[in-house]
Amino acid sequence: MSGARHSLWLGSALLIAAVGVLLLGAGVGSTGFDSVLNARHDPVAWQILWDIRLPRTLGAWVAGGLLGLAGAVAQGLFRNPLADPYLLGSASGAALGVALALALFGATPFATQWAVRLGLTGAAFTGAVAGVVLTLALAKGVQHTLRLLLAGVIVGVVLGAARDLVTIASPDTLQAMQGFMLGSTGFVGWAACGVMAATGLAALLVAASLGRVLDGLALGEATAISLGLPLVAVRAVLVAVLALATGAAVAQTGLIAFVGLASPHLVRSIVKTTHGRLIVLSALMGGLLLMAADVLARWIIAPQELPVGVLTAVLGGSYLLWLMHRRRRPGGGL
């Protein structure tokens, strides 16, 4: 009961903090809080607030939630605290899909804007799912966790090399490709928020319902089998959830580093709970992390902005290094 109460308090705190950051994000931009103050009387200020800042900030929260959810699923599925949402080749597949789309559409400013709005989202999602499917084919299904893990690493390397070859063949796409690799929420609108929210809700319900199976799997595959858990079917469903959640987030925001990896670690450092609650809390933590990073990226060098993926990599990497250093101390554990 204590764990459930602590989880409820943490979830409530994360939601309250998310509302606060959302309100803060509505006032951060090149025009500052003037757009918020004048929104009721100035159509331009209202458009900036409603069509740009709010969907972007909310979209960052939803995308971060998808990555946090996927990170918790990946770490539970592979029983590895270093597993992240991109482990099964989804990131490399998405990057290859974007590179191919840019090479086909061209990389002029007009073509790039058109591709971003109409083509790159579908190309990134298709590439992410194709990368996971290729991993499953190479691993011959989901029966063996280690084989699936190694297949994901191999597919990631091969698809990354293919992306580099496409970029070399079409050097004009390099700048646009760099924007995708660094991550950005600048093109997220209300439609994208709706798609990610629907995907996230479905993935969250499925993954949380399988939390008890992940609890059993944490005891070891032999123990899980002895308990009568359908590991093959559950792995297949969890891999599908992982691919869907990651693909939806990557398609809208590009490659955002460390959010999916760090979110479950942050939750576990605050509260000890079951996988069902961990998945929900990791989604809330991931949403808060990415939304806060997005607001910070817009504010640090305003009116310009930093790529949000760079900021999450610096902050997330620093946190994980600190965590490793703390755990290496006497009595700190492993």
Mean pLDDT of 308-316: 85
The 10s digit of each residue's pLDDT in 14-26 is 999 999 999 888 8
Q: Is residue 307 classed as helix, strand or coil in its secondary structure?
A: coil
User: Between 134 and 175, whose confidence is greater?
Assistant: 134
User: Between 1 and 123, whose confidence is greater?
Assistant: 123
Mean pLDDT of 18-37: 74
The 10s digit of each residue's pLDDT in 44-94 is 766 777 788 889 999 999 999 999 999 999 999 888 888 889 988 999 999
Averaged confidence pLDDT in the chain: 83
pLDDT at residue 314, rounded to an integer: 84
pLDDT at residue 327, rounded to an integer: 63
pLDDT at residue 334, rounded to an integer: 43
Q: Helix, strand, coil: what percent of the chain each, to 5? A: 80, 0, 20
Contacts of 276 (CB under 8 A, 6+ apart): 208, 209, 211, 212, 214, 215
Is residue 37 over pLDDT 60?
A: no
The 10s digit of each residue's pLDDT in 258-272 is 899 999 989 998 998
Q: How far is CA 291 from the centre of its chain?
A: 12
Going by pLDDT thresholds of 50, 70 and 90, the confidence category of residue 333 is: very low
Exposure class string for 238-265: b at 16+ Cβ within 10 A, else e: bbbbbbbbbbbbbbbbbbbbbbbbbbbb
Q: Is residue 204 classed as helix, strand or coil in its secondary structure?
A: helix
Q: Sort 303 into a burial class: Cβ within 10 Å, 0-12 / 13-18 / 19+.
A: exposed
Identity of the highest mean pLDDT range in 104-108, 196-200, 300-304: 196-200
Mean pLDDT of 162-169: 92
pLDDT at residue 135, rounded to an integer: 92
Mean pLDDT of 182-207: 90
Is residue 328 over pLDDT 70?
A: no
Global pTM reads: 0.87
Class of domain 2-327: mainly alpha
Mean pLDDT of 285-306: 88
Task: Please check whether residue 145 is in contact with residue 77, taking contact to mean a CB–CB distance below 8 angstroms.
Answer: yes
Helices (H), 140-274: 145-169, 174-182, 190-209, 211-217, 221-226, 231-253, 259-270
Looking at the chain, the whole-number percentage of residues with pLDDT higher than 70 is 86
pLDDT at residue 53, rounded to an integer: 85
Of 14, 22, 1, 58, give the one whose Cα is nearest residue 263.
14
The 10s digit of each residue's pLDDT in 198-233 is 999 999 999 999 988 888 877 776 666 666 677 778
